Amino acid sequence: MSNDEQVSVLDELQALLDRQVEVARQGDSAGEQIERLGRQADCLVEKISHAGVLERTECESRRKQLRKSYEKLCLALTAQKADVSERLSQVRRGKRIVETYRNHI
């Protein structure tokens, strides 16, 4: 893999991570899109790993930048998971209330 190809693949991975973070922050119905972007990112990570691009010392700053983006993605997904959990709890409470009314009417 040439230097230009390496830079291009790293740029593409960075863009995919940034897009995943953006989609995760949007919340509703983002799961499918995040999953699709994740599969694309996995392919790029495999290429990068196989070529040993990030093991080079000159790629230290890119490695740190990608790590920060990945951490942002993890935080955004955790926040989305918490939001979905809260909504699910609200639905369950509502369902119990409806069942209680149904049983007493």
Tens digit of pLDDT for each residue in 45-103?
Answer: 999 998 888 888 888 899 999 999 999 999 988 988 888 889 899 999 999 999 998 88
In angstroms, the CA 102 to CA 105 distance is 6
Return the structure tokens found at 2: 């040439």
Domain residues for 58? 3-104
In angstroms, the CA 94 to CA 105 distance is 17
pTM strictly above 0.85: no
Name the pLDDT band for 28 (thresholds 50, 70, 90): low
DSSP characters over 19-68 = HHHHHHHH-TT-HHHHHHHHHHHHHHHHHHHHHTGGGSGGGHHHHHHHHH
Number of domains into which the chain is organized? 1
